[in-house]
Structure 1
Amino acid sequence: MLDSAGRFAPSPSGDLHIGNVRTGILAYLWARGTGRGFRWRIEDLDRVSPGAAERQLEEFRALGLEIDGPIVRQTQRIEHYAAACARLDEQGLVYECYCSRKDIQSAPSAPHAPPGAYPGTCRDLAEDERIAARARLERAGRAPALRLRTTTAQRPVVDEVLGTLTAHIDDVVLRRGDGVWAYNLAVVVDDAAMGIDQVVRGDDLASSAPRQALLCDLLGLPVPAYAHVPLVLNPAGARLAKRDGAVTLEQLRAQRFDVWAWMGESLGFGRWMDLDDALASFDPAGIRREATVFDPPPLTPAETEPPANRR
Protein backbone atom coordinates (compact mmCIF):
# COMPACT_ATOMS: atom_id res chain seq x y z
CA MET A 1 0.00 0.00 0.00
CA LEU A 2 2.82 2.40 -0.80
CA ASP A 3 0.48 4.85 -2.52
CA SER A 4 -2.19 4.80 0.19
CA ALA A 5 -2.23 6.72 3.43
CA GLY A 6 -4.11 7.81 6.49
CA ARG A 7 -3.97 11.35 7.81
CA PHE A 8 -4.55 13.79 10.62
CA ALA A 9 -6.04 17.15 9.67
CA PRO A 10 -6.36 19.48 12.67
CA SER A 11 -7.73 22.99 12.54
CA PRO A 12 -5.13 25.47 13.85
CA SER A 13 -7.64 27.32 16.02
CA GLY A 14 -5.56 26.69 19.16
CA ASP A 15 -3.56 24.07 21.01
CA LEU A 16 -4.89 20.51 20.75
CA HIS A 17 -6.41 18.96 23.86
CA ILE A 18 -5.78 15.37 24.95
CA GLY A 19 -8.87 14.13 23.10
CA ASN A 20 -7.67 15.61 19.80
CA VAL A 21 -4.24 14.13 20.39
CA ARG A 22 -5.71 10.70 21.06
CA THR A 23 -7.62 10.81 17.77
CA GLY A 24 -4.46 11.82 15.90
CA ILE A 25 -2.47 9.01 17.49
CA LEU A 26 -5.23 6.54 16.59
CA ALA A 27 -5.08 7.73 12.97
CA TYR A 28 -1.31 7.15 13.01
CA LEU A 29 -1.51 3.69 14.58
CA TRP A 30 -4.29 2.63 12.23
CA ALA A 31 -2.35 3.81 9.17
CA ARG A 32 0.95 2.22 10.17
CA GLY A 33 -0.77 -0.98 11.27
CA THR A 34 -2.29 -1.40 7.81
CA GLY A 35 0.91 -0.63 5.91
CA ARG A 36 -0.09 2.90 4.97
CA GLY A 37 1.72 6.19 4.96
CA PHE A 38 0.70 8.96 7.35
CA ARG A 39 0.11 12.49 6.13
CA TRP A 40 -0.67 15.83 7.73
CA ARG A 41 -3.00 18.57 6.58
CA ILE A 42 -3.55 21.98 8.16
CA GLU A 43 -7.22 22.89 7.78
CA ASP A 44 -6.73 26.66 7.94
CA LEU A 45 -9.62 27.92 5.82
CA ASP A 46 -11.45 29.26 8.85
CA ARG A 47 -10.30 30.16 12.37
CA VAL A 48 -6.53 30.37 12.80
CA SER A 49 -4.62 31.11 16.00
CA PRO A 50 -1.10 32.43 15.28
CA GLY A 51 1.50 29.72 15.86
CA ALA A 52 -1.05 26.98 16.60
CA ALA A 53 -0.34 24.95 13.45
CA GLU A 54 3.39 24.88 14.20
CA ARG A 55 2.83 23.89 17.85
CA GLN A 56 0.45 21.09 16.87
CA LEU A 57 2.99 19.66 14.46
CA GLU A 58 5.85 19.95 16.96
CA GLU A 59 3.85 18.15 19.64
CA PHE A 60 3.15 15.16 17.42
CA ARG A 61 6.73 14.94 16.24
CA ALA A 62 7.87 15.09 19.87
CA LEU A 63 5.70 12.01 20.49
CA GLY A 64 7.69 10.21 17.79
CA LEU A 65 5.16 10.30 14.95
CA GLU A 66 6.77 10.41 11.51
CA ILE A 67 4.91 12.28 8.78
CA ASP A 68 5.21 11.23 5.15
CA GLY A 69 5.19 13.70 2.31
CA PRO A 70 4.81 17.48 2.46
CA ILE A 71 2.59 19.28 4.96
CA VAL A 72 -0.54 20.46 3.13
CA ARG A 73 -2.25 23.78 3.91
CA GLN A 74 -5.78 24.28 2.67
CA THR A 75 -5.26 28.00 2.13
CA GLN A 76 -2.76 27.06 -0.60
CA ARG A 77 -5.30 24.91 -2.44
CA ILE A 78 -8.13 27.35 -3.12
CA GLU A 79 -7.98 26.87 -6.89
CA HIS A 80 -8.56 23.11 -6.50
CA TYR A 81 -11.81 23.67 -4.58
CA ALA A 82 -12.95 26.15 -7.21
CA ALA A 83 -12.19 23.62 -9.96
CA ALA A 84 -14.15 20.89 -8.17
CA CYS A 85 -17.11 23.24 -7.74
CA ALA A 86 -16.92 24.10 -11.43
CA ARG A 87 -17.10 20.38 -12.31
CA LEU A 88 -20.22 20.04 -10.20
CA ASP A 89 -21.68 23.17 -11.79
CA GLU A 90 -21.12 21.67 -15.25
CA GLN A 91 -23.38 18.82 -14.14
CA GLY A 92 -26.10 21.27 -13.11
CA LEU A 93 -25.53 20.50 -9.43
CA VAL A 94 -24.68 23.95 -8.01
CA TYR A 95 -27.03 26.78 -7.15
CA GLU A 96 -26.90 30.04 -5.21
CA CYS A 97 -28.44 30.18 -1.75
CA TYR A 98 -29.54 33.50 -0.27
CA CYS A 99 -30.68 32.22 3.15
CA SER A 100 -29.19 33.33 6.43
CA ARG A 101 -28.70 30.87 9.28
CA LYS A 102 -31.77 32.38 10.94
CA ASP A 103 -33.80 31.84 7.77
CA ILE A 104 -32.89 28.15 7.75
CA GLN A 105 -33.62 27.64 11.43
CA SER A 106 -37.05 29.25 11.13
CA ALA A 107 -38.06 27.49 7.90
CA PRO A 108 -40.25 24.37 8.03
CA SER A 109 -38.22 21.16 7.66
CA ALA A 110 -38.57 19.17 4.48
CA PRO A 111 -40.45 15.86 4.77
CA HIS A 112 -38.32 13.05 6.26
CA ALA A 113 -35.49 15.50 7.02
CA PRO A 114 -34.09 16.04 10.53
CA PRO A 115 -34.60 19.42 12.27
CA GLY A 116 -32.12 22.01 11.02
CA ALA A 117 -31.57 20.36 7.63
CA TYR A 118 -31.65 22.78 4.73
CA PRO A 119 -35.19 22.62 3.28
CA GLY A 120 -34.22 23.59 -0.27
CA THR A 121 -35.61 27.13 -0.07
CA CYS A 122 -33.46 28.50 -2.92
CA ARG A 123 -33.16 25.31 -4.93
CA ASP A 124 -35.77 26.04 -7.61
CA LEU A 125 -36.19 29.80 -7.59
CA ALA A 126 -37.08 31.52 -10.85
CA GLU A 127 -34.42 33.72 -12.39
CA ASP A 128 -36.21 36.94 -11.46
CA GLU A 129 -36.40 35.74 -7.85
CA ARG A 130 -32.67 35.03 -7.89
CA ILE A 131 -31.89 38.47 -9.27
CA ALA A 132 -33.97 40.12 -6.54
CA ALA A 133 -32.42 37.97 -3.79
CA ARG A 134 -28.91 38.63 -5.05
CA ALA A 135 -29.57 42.39 -5.05
CA ARG A 136 -31.00 42.21 -1.52
CA LEU A 137 -27.83 40.51 -0.24
CA GLU A 138 -25.61 42.97 -2.09
CA ARG A 139 -27.37 45.91 -0.39
CA ALA A 140 -26.68 44.22 2.95
CA GLY A 141 -23.01 43.72 2.07
CA ARG A 142 -23.43 39.97 1.71
CA ALA A 143 -23.00 37.43 -1.07
CA PRO A 144 -24.87 34.19 -1.78
CA ALA A 145 -23.54 30.83 -0.71
CA LEU A 146 -23.19 27.97 -3.18
CA ARG A 147 -25.01 24.71 -2.48
CA LEU A 148 -24.99 21.24 -3.97
CA ARG A 149 -28.18 20.14 -5.64
CA THR A 150 -28.19 16.67 -4.12
CA THR A 151 -29.35 13.75 -6.22
CA THR A 152 -30.19 11.44 -3.33
CA ALA A 153 -31.19 11.74 0.32
CA GLN A 154 -29.15 8.69 1.36
CA ARG A 155 -25.66 7.39 0.61
CA PRO A 156 -24.77 4.56 3.04
CA VAL A 157 -21.13 4.29 4.14
CA VAL A 158 -19.54 1.31 5.88
CA ASP A 159 -17.55 2.39 8.94
CA GLU A 160 -14.95 0.11 10.54
CA VAL A 161 -16.10 1.06 14.05
CA LEU A 162 -19.75 2.06 13.76
CA GLY A 163 -20.93 -0.27 10.99
CA THR A 164 -23.16 1.09 8.23
CA LEU A 165 -23.68 4.86 8.49
CA THR A 166 -26.78 6.49 7.08
CA ALA A 167 -27.60 10.15 7.44
CA HIS A 168 -29.97 12.48 5.65
CA ILE A 169 -28.09 14.41 2.97
CA ASP A 170 -29.43 17.88 2.35
CA ASP A 171 -28.15 20.41 -0.17
CA VAL A 172 -24.81 20.94 1.53
CA VAL A 173 -22.90 24.21 1.31
CA LEU A 174 -19.95 24.17 -1.08
CA ARG A 175 -18.87 27.77 -0.60
CA ARG A 176 -20.06 30.00 2.19
CA GLY A 177 -21.48 33.45 1.72
CA ASP A 178 -18.21 34.96 2.98
CA GLY A 179 -16.35 33.23 0.15
CA VAL A 180 -14.75 30.50 2.28
CA TRP A 181 -14.86 27.03 0.75
CA ALA A 182 -16.84 24.66 2.94
CA TYR A 183 -15.39 21.77 4.94
CA ASN A 184 -17.20 18.95 3.12
CA LEU A 185 -15.97 19.95 -0.33
CA ALA A 186 -12.43 20.83 0.76
CA VAL A 187 -11.82 17.61 2.68
CA VAL A 188 -12.99 15.44 -0.21
CA VAL A 189 -10.79 17.23 -2.74
CA ASP A 190 -7.77 17.21 -0.42
CA ASP A 191 -8.02 13.57 0.62
CA ALA A 192 -8.12 12.44 -3.00
CA ALA A 193 -5.16 14.64 -3.98
CA MET A 194 -3.11 13.40 -1.00
CA GLY A 195 -3.77 9.71 -1.68
CA ILE A 196 -5.79 9.34 1.53
CA ASP A 197 -7.77 6.12 1.42
CA GLN A 198 -8.27 5.77 5.18
CA VAL A 199 -9.92 8.40 7.36
CA VAL A 200 -9.80 7.92 11.14
CA ARG A 201 -11.46 10.73 13.08
CA GLY A 202 -13.83 11.45 15.99
CA ASP A 203 -17.32 10.01 15.87
CA ASP A 204 -18.79 13.51 16.09
CA LEU A 205 -18.01 13.68 12.35
CA ALA A 206 -19.71 10.39 11.48
CA SER A 207 -22.72 12.13 9.93
CA SER A 208 -20.38 13.90 7.49
CA ALA A 209 -19.21 10.64 5.90
CA PRO A 210 -22.32 10.03 3.73
CA ARG A 211 -22.19 13.63 2.45
CA GLN A 212 -18.52 13.32 1.62
CA ALA A 213 -18.96 9.92 -0.02
CA LEU A 214 -21.68 11.40 -2.24
CA LEU A 215 -19.38 14.27 -3.22
CA CYS A 216 -16.68 11.70 -4.07
CA ASP A 217 -19.16 9.87 -6.30
CA LEU A 218 -20.21 13.04 -8.10
CA LEU A 219 -16.59 14.17 -8.62
CA GLY A 220 -15.38 10.73 -9.71
CA LEU A 221 -13.07 10.44 -6.69
CA PRO A 222 -12.37 7.30 -4.62
CA VAL A 223 -14.23 6.97 -1.34
CA PRO A 224 -11.84 6.33 1.56
CA ALA A 225 -12.36 3.72 4.26
CA TYR A 226 -13.82 5.39 7.34
CA ALA A 227 -13.30 4.68 11.04
CA HIS A 228 -15.01 7.05 13.48
CA VAL A 229 -13.64 6.62 16.97
CA PRO A 230 -15.20 7.52 20.35
CA LEU A 231 -14.57 10.97 21.78
CA VAL A 232 -13.01 11.98 25.08
CA LEU A 233 -15.59 13.65 27.35
CA ASN A 234 -15.33 15.68 30.53
CA PRO A 235 -16.84 14.41 33.82
CA ALA A 236 -20.15 16.10 32.98
CA GLY A 237 -20.43 14.00 29.82
CA ALA A 238 -19.82 16.93 27.47
CA ARG A 239 -17.09 17.16 24.85
CA LEU A 240 -13.73 17.86 26.42
CA ALA A 241 -12.70 21.52 26.16
CA LYS A 242 -9.81 23.64 27.32
CA ARG A 243 -11.96 25.35 29.93
CA ASP A 244 -12.15 22.00 31.78
CA GLY A 245 -8.62 22.29 33.17
CA ALA A 246 -5.18 21.03 32.16
CA VAL A 247 -5.93 19.31 28.86
CA THR A 248 -3.15 20.27 26.40
CA LEU A 249 0.04 18.21 26.17
CA GLU A 250 2.10 21.12 27.49
CA GLN A 251 -0.15 21.52 30.52
CA LEU A 252 -0.27 17.80 31.24
CA ARG A 253 3.50 17.36 30.95
CA ALA A 254 3.95 20.18 33.48
CA GLN A 255 1.88 18.03 35.86
CA ARG A 256 4.00 14.92 35.10
CA PHE A 257 1.01 13.27 33.45
CA ASP A 258 1.93 10.03 31.65
CA VAL A 259 0.35 10.61 28.25
CA TRP A 260 1.23 7.24 26.72
CA ALA A 261 0.05 5.26 29.75
CA TRP A 262 -3.29 7.07 29.71
CA MET A 263 -3.65 6.62 25.93
CA GLY A 264 -3.25 2.85 26.14
CA GLU A 265 -5.59 2.48 29.09
CA SER A 266 -8.27 4.77 27.63
CA LEU A 267 -8.36 2.67 24.47
CA GLY A 268 -8.54 -0.67 26.28
CA PHE A 269 -4.98 -1.91 25.67
CA GLY A 270 -3.45 -1.33 29.09
CA ARG A 271 -0.64 1.11 29.85
CA TRP A 272 1.65 2.00 26.97
CA MET A 273 5.24 3.07 27.60
CA ASP A 274 5.87 4.86 24.30
CA LEU A 275 5.01 4.90 20.60
CA ASP A 276 6.84 1.64 19.89
CA ASP A 277 4.81 -0.06 22.61
CA ALA A 278 1.63 1.36 21.10
CA LEU A 279 2.53 0.17 17.59
CA ALA A 280 3.31 -3.32 18.88
CA SER A 281 0.02 -3.80 20.74
CA PHE A 282 -2.48 -1.80 18.70
CA ASP A 283 -5.36 -3.74 17.16
CA PRO A 284 -8.39 -1.89 15.72
CA ALA A 285 -10.67 -4.72 16.83
CA GLY A 286 -9.64 -4.15 20.45
CA ILE A 287 -10.53 -0.44 20.68
CA ARG A 288 -12.91 0.42 23.48
CA ARG A 289 -16.14 1.42 21.76
CA GLU A 290 -17.58 3.79 24.35
CA ALA A 291 -16.50 7.37 25.02
CA THR A 292 -13.70 7.95 27.54
CA VAL A 293 -14.20 10.32 30.46
CA PHE A 294 -11.17 12.44 31.32
CA ASP A 295 -11.05 14.38 34.57
CA PRO A 296 -8.42 17.07 33.91
CA PRO A 297 -6.10 18.22 36.68
CA PRO A 298 -6.77 21.86 37.69
CA LEU A 299 -4.74 24.51 35.94
CA THR A 300 -1.94 26.31 37.76
CA PRO A 301 -1.86 30.13 37.41
CA ALA A 302 1.05 29.92 34.96
CA GLU A 303 -0.84 27.50 32.73
CA THR A 304 -3.72 29.93 32.28
CA GLU A 305 -1.46 32.33 30.37
CA PRO A 306 -1.46 32.20 26.54
CA PRO A 307 1.47 30.16 25.11
CA ALA A 308 3.03 33.30 23.61
CA ASN A 309 3.35 34.83 27.08
CA ARG A 310 5.09 31.88 28.69
CA ARG A 311 8.86 31.73 29.06
Structure 2
Amino acid sequence: MTDAETEARGNDRTALPVSETADLAERITDNVERVIVGHHDAIEHLVVTILARGHLLLEDVPGVGKTMLARSVAKSVDCSFKRVQFTPDLLPSDVTGVNVFNQQSREFEFQPGPVFANLVLGDEINRAPPKTQSALLEAMEEQQVTVDGVTRDLPDPFTVVATQNDVEQGRTYDLPVAEIDRFTKKLRLGYPDEADETELLGRVAGRHPIESIEPVATVEDLSRARTTVSEVEVSEPIRSYVSRLAGYTRQHAQLGVSPRGSIALLRAAQARAVLSERDYVVPDDVQTEAPTVLAHRVVTGSAAETGGAVVEDALDAVAVE
Protein backbone atom coordinates (compact mmCIF):
# COMPACT_ATOMS: atom_id res chain seq x y z
CA MET A 1 0.00 0.00 0.00
CA THR A 2 1.36 3.40 -0.95
CA ASP A 3 1.43 6.42 1.36
CA ALA A 4 -1.42 7.96 -0.67
CA GLU A 5 -3.55 4.84 -0.30
CA THR A 6 -2.87 4.69 3.43
CA GLU A 7 -3.76 8.37 3.71
CA ALA A 8 -6.99 7.85 1.78
CA ARG A 9 -7.97 4.90 3.92
CA GLY A 10 -7.51 6.97 7.08
CA ASN A 11 -9.57 9.81 5.61
CA ASP A 12 -12.61 7.67 4.75
CA ARG A 13 -14.08 8.51 8.14
CA THR A 14 -15.87 11.74 8.93
CA ALA A 15 -13.70 14.15 10.91
CA LEU A 16 -14.65 15.12 14.42
CA PRO A 17 -15.06 18.82 15.18
CA VAL A 18 -11.79 20.30 16.42
CA SER A 19 -13.23 20.99 19.88
CA GLU A 20 -14.36 17.37 20.25
CA THR A 21 -10.94 16.12 19.18
CA ALA A 22 -9.27 18.35 21.78
CA ASP A 23 -11.71 17.03 24.38
CA LEU A 24 -10.93 13.44 23.34
CA ALA A 25 -7.19 14.03 23.77
CA GLU A 26 -7.80 15.56 27.18
CA ARG A 27 -9.96 12.61 28.30
CA ILE A 28 -7.30 10.12 27.29
CA THR A 29 -4.55 12.16 28.98
CA ASP A 30 -6.54 12.51 32.21
CA ASN A 31 -7.37 8.80 32.21
CA VAL A 32 -3.73 7.79 31.79
CA GLU A 33 -2.75 10.14 34.62
CA ARG A 34 -4.79 7.95 36.95
CA VAL A 35 -1.94 5.44 36.49
CA ILE A 36 1.12 7.48 35.45
CA VAL A 37 2.16 10.15 37.95
CA GLY A 38 4.19 13.25 37.16
CA HIS A 39 4.54 12.78 33.39
CA HIS A 40 1.77 14.94 31.94
CA ASP A 41 3.94 16.21 29.07
CA ALA A 42 5.06 12.69 28.11
CA ILE A 43 1.47 11.45 28.08
CA GLU A 44 0.44 14.39 25.93
CA HIS A 45 3.34 13.71 23.55
CA LEU A 46 2.15 10.12 23.15
CA VAL A 47 -1.40 11.27 22.42
CA VAL A 48 -0.02 13.74 19.86
CA THR A 49 1.97 10.92 18.24
CA ILE A 50 -1.12 8.75 17.86
CA LEU A 51 -3.20 11.60 16.46
CA ALA A 52 -0.37 12.43 14.04
CA ARG A 53 -0.44 8.87 12.66
CA GLY A 54 3.01 8.18 14.03
CA HIS A 55 5.02 5.92 16.31
CA LEU A 56 6.83 6.55 19.59
CA LEU A 57 10.16 5.39 21.02
CA LEU A 58 10.54 5.53 24.81
CA GLU A 59 14.16 5.31 25.97
CA ASP A 60 15.17 5.31 29.61
CA VAL A 61 16.51 3.23 32.47
CA PRO A 62 14.41 0.25 33.63
CA GLY A 63 11.54 0.76 36.04
CA VAL A 64 10.42 4.34 35.30
CA GLY A 65 7.07 3.40 33.74
CA LYS A 66 7.72 3.11 29.99
CA THR A 67 5.70 -0.07 29.53
CA MET A 68 3.01 1.06 31.95
CA LEU A 69 2.52 4.27 29.95
CA ALA A 70 1.88 2.33 26.74
CA ARG A 71 -0.48 -0.10 28.49
CA SER A 72 -2.41 2.75 30.09
CA VAL A 73 -2.99 4.48 26.77
CA ALA A 74 -4.09 1.20 25.20
CA LYS A 75 -6.60 0.62 27.99
CA SER A 76 -7.90 4.17 27.63
CA VAL A 77 -9.00 3.47 24.05
CA ASP A 78 -11.24 0.53 23.23
CA CYS A 79 -8.88 -0.84 20.58
CA SER A 80 -6.88 -3.99 19.90
CA PHE A 81 -3.56 -4.14 21.76
CA LYS A 82 -0.67 -6.57 21.43
CA ARG A 83 2.65 -6.73 23.21
CA VAL A 84 5.90 -8.14 21.82
CA GLN A 85 8.65 -8.89 24.31
CA PHE A 86 11.82 -8.51 22.25
CA THR A 87 14.53 -11.02 23.13
CA PRO A 88 17.76 -12.14 21.41
CA ASP A 89 16.08 -15.30 20.05
CA LEU A 90 12.96 -13.56 18.68
CA LEU A 91 12.42 -14.16 14.95
CA PRO A 92 10.87 -11.77 12.40
CA SER A 93 7.99 -14.22 11.91
CA ASP A 94 7.26 -13.97 15.65
CA VAL A 95 6.37 -10.34 14.96
CA THR A 96 4.73 -10.37 11.53
CA GLY A 97 3.16 -13.84 11.48
CA VAL A 98 3.80 -17.06 9.60
CA ASN A 99 2.15 -19.45 7.14
CA VAL A 100 1.28 -22.76 8.81
CA PHE A 101 0.32 -25.93 6.96
CA ASN A 102 -3.19 -27.14 7.82
CA GLN A 103 -3.27 -30.93 7.80
CA GLN A 104 -7.03 -31.06 7.28
CA SER A 105 -7.35 -28.60 4.39
CA ARG A 106 -3.91 -29.50 3.00
CA GLU A 107 -3.24 -25.79 2.52
CA PHE A 108 -1.07 -23.17 4.15
CA GLU A 109 -2.91 -20.74 6.41
CA PHE A 110 -1.59 -17.42 7.61
CA GLN A 111 -1.34 -17.01 11.37
CA PRO A 112 -1.06 -13.26 12.02
CA GLY A 113 1.60 -12.04 14.43
CA PRO A 114 1.17 -9.49 17.21
CA VAL A 115 1.83 -6.63 14.79
CA PHE A 116 -1.80 -7.00 13.67
CA ALA A 117 -3.28 -4.67 16.29
CA ASN A 118 -4.23 -1.00 16.61
CA LEU A 119 -1.57 -0.38 19.26
CA VAL A 120 1.54 -2.55 19.36
CA LEU A 121 3.96 -2.39 22.27
CA GLY A 122 7.49 -3.44 21.36
CA ASP A 123 9.00 -3.94 24.79
CA GLU A 124 12.80 -3.61 25.10
CA ILE A 125 13.10 -3.51 21.33
CA ASN A 126 16.88 -3.17 21.45
CA ARG A 127 17.29 -6.65 22.96
CA ALA A 128 16.47 -8.25 19.59
CA PRO A 129 19.01 -8.39 16.73
CA PRO A 130 18.65 -6.00 13.75
CA LYS A 131 17.08 -8.69 11.54
CA THR A 132 14.14 -9.00 13.92
CA GLN A 133 13.89 -5.24 14.49
CA SER A 134 13.64 -4.78 10.73
CA ALA A 135 10.40 -6.78 10.73
CA LEU A 136 8.72 -3.54 11.82
CA LEU A 137 10.10 -1.34 9.02
CA GLU A 138 7.40 -2.02 6.43
CA ALA A 139 4.67 -2.03 9.08
CA MET A 140 5.65 1.35 10.51
CA GLU A 141 6.08 3.08 7.16
CA GLU A 142 3.33 1.57 5.02
CA GLN A 143 0.88 0.04 7.52
CA GLN A 144 1.22 -3.38 5.93
CA VAL A 145 3.35 -6.53 6.17
CA THR A 146 4.57 -8.86 3.44
CA VAL A 147 5.01 -12.54 4.29
CA ASP A 148 6.01 -15.11 1.63
CA GLY A 149 5.25 -12.62 -1.13
CA VAL A 150 1.73 -11.78 0.10
CA THR A 151 1.05 -8.26 1.40
CA ARG A 152 -1.57 -7.78 4.12
CA ASP A 153 -2.95 -4.53 5.49
CA LEU A 154 -2.63 -3.76 9.19
CA PRO A 155 -5.53 -2.43 11.29
CA ASP A 156 -6.36 1.24 11.02
CA PRO A 157 -5.42 3.14 13.14
CA PHE A 158 -2.02 1.55 13.74
CA THR A 159 0.66 2.80 16.15
CA VAL A 160 3.85 1.24 17.48
CA VAL A 161 5.11 2.24 20.91
CA ALA A 162 8.57 0.80 21.50
CA THR A 163 10.64 0.89 24.66
CA GLN A 164 14.36 0.46 25.10
CA ASN A 165 16.70 0.77 28.06
CA ASP A 166 19.95 2.65 27.73
CA VAL A 167 21.92 0.54 30.18
CA GLU A 168 23.49 -2.91 29.67
CA GLN A 169 24.95 -1.74 26.37
CA GLY A 170 26.83 -5.00 25.94
CA ARG A 171 23.58 -6.96 25.95
CA THR A 172 21.58 -4.83 23.51
CA TYR A 173 21.66 -3.91 19.83
CA ASP A 174 21.63 -0.41 18.37
CA LEU A 175 18.49 0.36 16.37
CA PRO A 176 19.19 0.86 12.65
CA VAL A 177 19.03 4.48 11.51
CA ALA A 178 16.21 3.57 9.10
CA GLU A 179 14.13 2.30 12.00
CA ILE A 180 14.87 5.23 14.30
CA ASP A 181 13.76 7.57 11.49
CA ARG A 182 10.35 5.86 11.42
CA PHE A 183 9.58 6.88 14.99
CA THR A 184 7.75 10.21 15.04
CA LYS A 185 9.01 11.00 18.53
CA LYS A 186 11.61 9.81 20.99
CA LEU A 187 11.03 10.53 24.68
CA ARG A 188 12.63 10.00 28.05
CA LEU A 189 10.52 9.81 31.19
CA GLY A 190 13.18 10.30 33.85
CA TYR A 191 12.87 9.66 37.55
CA PRO A 192 9.91 11.21 39.43
CA ASP A 193 10.54 13.87 42.03
CA GLU A 194 9.93 13.12 45.71
CA ALA A 195 6.30 14.32 45.75
CA ASP A 196 5.35 12.39 42.62
CA GLU A 197 7.05 9.21 43.82
CA THR A 198 5.28 9.48 47.17
CA GLU A 199 1.95 9.85 45.33
CA LEU A 200 2.82 6.87 43.14
CA LEU A 201 3.60 4.66 46.13
CA GLY A 202 0.27 5.57 47.67
CA ARG A 203 -1.61 4.55 44.52
CA VAL A 204 0.06 1.15 44.11
CA ALA A 205 0.15 0.15 47.79
CA GLY A 206 -3.04 -1.84 47.25
CA ARG A 207 -4.60 -2.69 43.94
CA HIS A 208 -2.68 -1.27 40.98
CA PRO A 209 -4.70 1.55 39.33
CA ILE A 210 -4.23 0.08 35.83
CA GLU A 211 -6.48 -2.81 36.85
CA SER A 212 -9.46 -0.48 37.19
CA ILE A 213 -8.83 1.84 34.25
CA GLU A 214 -11.66 1.86 31.69
CA PRO A 215 -11.76 3.07 28.05
CA VAL A 216 -12.76 6.68 27.52
CA ALA A 217 -12.75 6.52 23.70
CA THR A 218 -13.49 4.06 20.92
CA VAL A 219 -11.28 3.15 18.00
CA GLU A 220 -13.77 4.94 15.75
CA ASP A 221 -13.36 8.11 17.85
CA LEU A 222 -9.60 7.84 17.42
CA SER A 223 -9.84 7.30 13.67
CA ARG A 224 -12.12 10.31 13.23
CA ALA A 225 -9.80 12.41 15.41
CA ARG A 226 -6.84 11.47 13.23
CA THR A 227 -8.83 12.58 10.20
CA THR A 228 -9.48 15.91 11.94
CA VAL A 229 -5.75 16.38 12.52
CA SER A 230 -4.92 15.55 8.90
CA GLU A 231 -7.26 18.33 7.73
CA VAL A 232 -5.67 21.08 9.86
CA GLU A 233 -4.49 23.94 7.65
CA VAL A 234 -0.74 24.37 7.19
CA SER A 235 0.10 27.59 5.35
CA GLU A 236 3.06 27.97 2.99
CA PRO A 237 5.13 30.05 5.49
CA ILE A 238 4.78 27.26 8.08
CA ARG A 239 5.82 24.64 5.54
CA SER A 240 8.80 26.78 4.59
CA TYR A 241 9.74 27.19 8.26
CA VAL A 242 9.77 23.41 8.75
CA SER A 243 11.90 22.97 5.62
CA ARG A 244 14.41 25.55 6.80
CA LEU A 245 14.68 23.91 10.23
CA ALA A 246 15.41 20.58 8.55
CA GLY A 247 17.91 22.26 6.23
CA TYR A 248 19.78 23.76 9.18
CA THR A 249 20.28 20.31 10.73
CA ARG A 250 21.62 18.95 7.45
CA GLN A 251 24.18 21.75 7.24
CA HIS A 252 25.32 21.47 10.88
CA ALA A 253 25.42 17.70 11.51
CA GLN A 254 26.87 14.56 10.02
CA LEU A 255 23.33 13.32 9.34
CA GLY A 256 20.45 15.78 9.38
CA VAL A 257 16.69 15.46 9.41
CA SER A 258 15.22 13.51 6.50
CA PRO A 259 12.13 14.55 4.51
CA ARG A 260 10.30 11.88 6.52
CA GLY A 261 11.28 13.80 9.63
CA SER A 262 9.92 17.04 8.15
CA ILE A 263 6.61 15.31 7.42
CA ALA A 264 6.52 13.95 10.97
CA LEU A 265 7.09 17.43 12.40
CA LEU A 266 4.33 18.89 10.25
CA ARG A 267 1.84 16.22 11.33
CA ALA A 268 2.81 16.58 15.00
CA ALA A 269 2.32 20.35 14.71
CA GLN A 270 -1.15 19.73 13.25
CA ALA A 271 -2.01 17.55 16.26
CA ARG A 272 -0.63 20.15 18.65
CA ALA A 273 -2.81 22.80 17.00
CA VAL A 274 -5.91 20.65 17.54
CA LEU A 275 -5.02 20.21 21.22
CA SER A 276 -5.12 24.01 21.39
CA GLU A 277 -8.53 23.91 19.63
CA ARG A 278 -7.25 25.48 16.42
CA ASP A 279 -7.77 24.27 12.86
CA TYR A 280 -4.55 25.88 11.63
CA VAL A 281 -0.86 25.55 12.58
CA VAL A 282 1.14 28.43 14.05
CA PRO A 283 4.94 28.61 14.55
CA ASP A 284 4.56 27.84 18.28
CA ASP A 285 3.14 24.42 17.36
CA VAL A 286 6.23 23.64 15.29
CA GLN A 287 8.59 24.90 17.98
CA THR A 288 6.85 22.87 20.68
CA GLU A 289 7.10 19.66 18.68
CA ALA A 290 10.53 20.07 17.08
CA PRO A 291 12.72 18.85 20.00
CA THR A 292 10.93 15.49 20.41
CA VAL A 293 10.39 14.95 16.68
CA LEU A 294 13.76 15.97 15.22
CA ALA A 295 16.50 15.38 17.81
CA HIS A 296 16.72 11.58 17.48
CA ARG A 297 17.11 11.88 13.70
CA VAL A 298 20.24 14.03 13.93
CA VAL A 299 23.66 12.36 14.09
CA THR A 300 26.40 14.81 15.01
CA GLY A 301 29.44 12.56 14.80
CA SER A 302 30.72 14.22 17.96
CA ALA A 303 30.45 13.05 21.53
CA ALA A 304 30.47 16.68 22.65
CA GLU A 305 27.29 17.66 20.80
CA THR A 306 23.91 15.97 20.75
CA GLY A 307 21.13 15.97 18.20
CA GLY A 308 19.00 17.87 20.68
CA ALA A 309 21.57 20.66 20.84
CA VAL A 310 21.56 20.98 17.04
CA VAL A 311 17.76 21.22 17.02
CA GLU A 312 17.82 23.88 19.74
CA ASP A 313 20.39 25.83 17.73
CA ALA A 314 18.14 25.53 14.68
CA LEU A 315 15.18 26.93 16.58
CA ASP A 316 17.31 29.86 17.71
CA ALA A 317 18.92 30.54 14.34
CA VAL A 318 16.07 29.99 11.87
CA ALA A 319 13.73 32.95 11.77
CA VAL A 320 9.98 32.68 11.40
CA GLU A 321 9.04 34.49 8.22
TM norm. shorter chain > 0.5: no
Higher helix share: 2
TM-score (norm 1): 0.27
Higher relative contact order (CA 8 A, sep 6+): 2
TM-score (norm 2): 0.26
Whose radius of gyration is greater, 1 or 2?
A: 1
